[in-house]
């Protein structure tokens, strides 16, 4: 697998590029919900809707947490866009027997309180308005390999157009009380949170 690094030049540029692109392409960004920092390593569980996902979470991190950002990418994509490795990207190869190495590596990153690790447990891109949430097994494997307590963050990214040609992005955030003996409940709890976010978005009640 390809491990993550934070290059002294590429990582600051990636952070600058993140903020610039988000401000350039979105009318405004609202961060809604619980966003306090417990000081523990951050494991972020988010919906996977497209190219923007990693940038949105990095934007959230830069504004609210200031951690060393890490994110999982398909190995073929990380080899193609090699520079993401030097901004915190590490590889995964679904279906390959070495995928467990990636999951253990993700868990090891969460032994450092200064780190944030982003995962997309659905494993594939879905429409942001598809509430039929189904997790793959990777998230549970990461949790089982944790050596220290972590702060788990549920994130749902939704966007709409109003009277602007640019979309309005809402990042819904919820601190999740992770219990090691109840990890099978994470999927259903995330689904409930997702449904709540969709309802708020549809009713135009983001605050």
Strand partners, 174: 154
Q: Please state the length of the chain.
A: 207
Which sequence spans correspond to the domains of the chain?
Answer: 10-202
Of the pLDDT bands very low, low, confident and very high (cuts 50, 70, 90), residue 50 is confident
How do residues 171-189 score in pLDDT, each as one tens digit? 999 999 998 778 889 999 9
How far apart, in Å, are the Cα atoms of 116 and each of 43, 60, 161, 185, 200?
Answer: 6, 11, 30, 22, 27
How do residues 115-167 score in pLDDT, each as one tens digit? 999 999 987 777 777 778 889 889 999 999 999 899 999 999 999 987 889 99
Asked if 111 and 148 count as a contact pair (C-beta separation under 8 A), the reply is yes
What's the average model confidence in pLDDT over 76-104? 92
The more confidently predicted of residues 36 and 157 is: 157
Three-state DSSP class for residue 19? helix
Tokens 């990042």 sit at which residue?
Answer: 171
The more confidently predicted of residues 115 and 94 is: 115
CA dihedral 66, 146, 1, 10 (to 10 degrees): 10
What's the average model confidence in pLDDT over 93-100? 84
Strand partners, 152: 43, 176
Q: What does pLDDT average to over the chain?
A: 92
Output the pLDDT for position 97.
79
Global pTM reads 0.94
Q: Average the pLDDT over each of 10-24, 86-100, 122-136, 164-178 and give the range with the smallest value.
A: 122-136
How far apart, in Å, are the Cα atoms of 181 and each of 44, 140, 154?
Answer: 19, 11, 18
Q: How many CB atoms lie within 10 A of CB 11?
A: 16
Is the pLDDT score of 205 beyond 70?
A: no
CA–CA separation, 186 and 179 (whole Å) = 9
């Amino acid at each position: 697998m390809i491990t993550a690094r934070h290059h002294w030049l590429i990582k600051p540029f990636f952070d600058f590029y993140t903020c610039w692109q988000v401000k350039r392409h979105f009318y405004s960004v609202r961060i809604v919900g619980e966003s306090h920092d417990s000081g523990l390593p951050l494991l972020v569980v988010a919906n996977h809707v497209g190219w923007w996902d990693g940038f949105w979470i990095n934007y959230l991190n830069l504004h609210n947490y200031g951690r060393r950002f890490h994110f999982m990418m398909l190995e073929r994509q990380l080899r193609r866009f090699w520079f993401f490795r030097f901004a915190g990207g590490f590889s995964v190869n679904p279906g390959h027997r070495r995928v467990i190495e990636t999951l253990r590596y993700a868990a090891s990153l969460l032994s450092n309180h200064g780190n944030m690790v982003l995962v997309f447990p659905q494993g594939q891109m879905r429409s942001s308005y598809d509430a039929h949430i189904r997790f793959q097994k990777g998230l549970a494997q990461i949790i089982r390999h944790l050596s220290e307590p972590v702060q788990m963050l549920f994130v749902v990214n939704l966007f709409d157009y109003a009277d602007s040609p640019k979309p309005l992005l809402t990042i819904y955030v919820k601190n999740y009380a992770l219990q090691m003996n109840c990890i099978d409940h994470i999927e259903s709890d995330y689904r409930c949170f997702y449904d709540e976010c969709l309802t708020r978005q549809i009713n135009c009640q983001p605050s």
